[in-house]
Chains A and B, each alone.
Chain A
Amino acid sequence: NAGVTQTPKFQVLKTGQSMTLQCAQDMNHEYMSWYRQDPGMGLRLIHYSVGAGITDQGEVPNGYNVSRSTTEDFPLRLLSAAPSQTSVYFCASSYEGLNNYGYTFGSGTRLTVV
């Protein structure tokens, strides 16, 4: 049981480049989300999905795009990278309503935009 798998673990981009951060879970969780972690700011919600074909914006969605074609996968796309998007990105999944297990988090992707 792999849990939540994020790739890549590290990435350096040049300003203006695009890329996709991958996230996959094998727990049949309905709910998936993307957070970014910045020093002194905790984790902020970028986008989330309550099931295949359904996505919605979180607190800081600008510059990011998502889709959910399957239950297992929830990729995050950076359309035109900017230095302000330098951060650590976490994907998380859960059953509906968080139950007693809360979220399962991936190990993160550390992105640097130069």
Chain B
Amino acid sequence: GDSVTQMEGPVTLSEEAFLTINCTYTATGYPSLFWYVQYPGEGLQLLLKATKADDKGSNKGFEATYRKETTSFHLEKGSVQVSDSAVYFCALSKYGNKLVFGAGTILRVKS
């Protein structure tokens, strides 16, 4: 079946460091890809999405490019802030509205 694999965390960075969180997927066909963010004590929020190969999703300084040849959707940010500390989930959707999530990656940013 379809699946999403994320790099294990926690990832700990200093403020202004470069962030990469790896995400790869297994799916037949052409899924849409998403990154969601969960701040402490809250539900998930959509961070960015891409619906076809080579699309780049971007929001709040975060970016991810849909790479079909490597089945990847890595999340990047050039300069992280303490306020970016959260859990980040990669997800895919192929049919209708059902999302398949990765296990999540905890990001901790130190000042």
Residue B11 interfacial (CB < 8 Å): no
Give A103 Cβ to nearest chain B Cβ, in Å: 7
Contact with A along B69-94 (1 / 0, CB 8 A): 00000000000000000000100010
B44 adjacent to A90 (CB under 8 Å): yes
Which of these, A94, A96, A101, A106, contacts B43 with CB under 8 Å?
Answer: A106
- Contact status B101-A42, CB under 8 Å: yes
| Interface SS majority for chain B | strand
Number of interface residues of A (CB under 8 A): 27
Q: Report if A96-B97 is in contact (Cβ < 8 Å); known contacts: A101-B46, A102-B49, A106-B43.
A: yes
Least CB distance from A98 to B in Å reads: 6
Is A108 in contact with chain B by the CB < 8 A criterion? yes
Known: A90-B43, A97-B97. A102 touches B36 (CB 8 A): yes
- Contact of A107 with B41 in the complex, beta carbons under 8 Å: yes
B97 partner, pick from A94, A105, A107, beta carbons under 8 A: A94
Residues of A within 8 A of B32 (CB): 98
Q: Are B43 and A42 in contact (CB under 8 A)?
A: no
Q: Provide the B34-68 mask, 1 if CB < 8 A to any CB of A, else 0.
A: 10100001111110010000000000000000000
CB of A41 within 8 A of CB of B103, answer yes
Given contacts A90-B43, A103-B46, contact A42 B103 (CB under 8 A): yes
Are the C-beta atoms of B89 and A43 separated by less than 8 Å? yes
B residues less than 8 Å from A4 (CB atoms):
43
A residues less than 8 Å from B41 (CB atoms): 107
Q: Are B98 and A58 in contact (CB under 8 A)?
A: yes
Chain B contacts for A102, CB-based, 8 A: 34, 36, 46, 49
Q: How far is the CA of A33 from the CA of B96 in the complex (A)?
A: 12
Known contacts A40-B103, A102-B49; is-contact A45 B44 (Cβ 8 Å) = no
Q: For A29, give the chain B residue with the smallest CB separation.
A: B97
21 contacts between A and B (CB under 8 A): A4-B43, A31-B97, A33-B97, A42-B89, A42-B101, A42-B102, A42-B103, A43-B44, A44-B101, A45-B98, A45-B99, A50-B96, A50-B97, A92-B44, A96-B97, A98-B49, A102-B49, A103-B36, A103-B46, A105-B45, A108-B43
